[in-house]
Amino acid sequence: MTDTLHELDVRRLLCPMPVIKTQNKVRTLATGDTLKVVCTDPGALSDIPAWCRINGHEVLEMAEQGNEVFVVLRVGQDNGALF
């Protein structure tokens, strides 16, 4: 188990792309890694946490700053990797 911080920039993408890009990134990460997703789609504040609940990942933090929203998550045991 690692504890590495990663960042994903999905600014200027609209639903469902922030969730899809988050899912694709999480597949490349290890259990325990932390991912900060930076978005301009305010719907991501509900969409990404919902995806995390369904897939066993933990939301550590959510915030809005200006026109951007941030979701920080910890990758759960099943990252959805195909290999």
Catalytic positions are 15
Residue 83: C-alpha distances to residues 11, 19, 27, 28 (Å): 29, 21, 9, 10
DSSP 3-state of 38: strand
Phi and psi (nearest 5°) for 79?
Answer: -85, 0
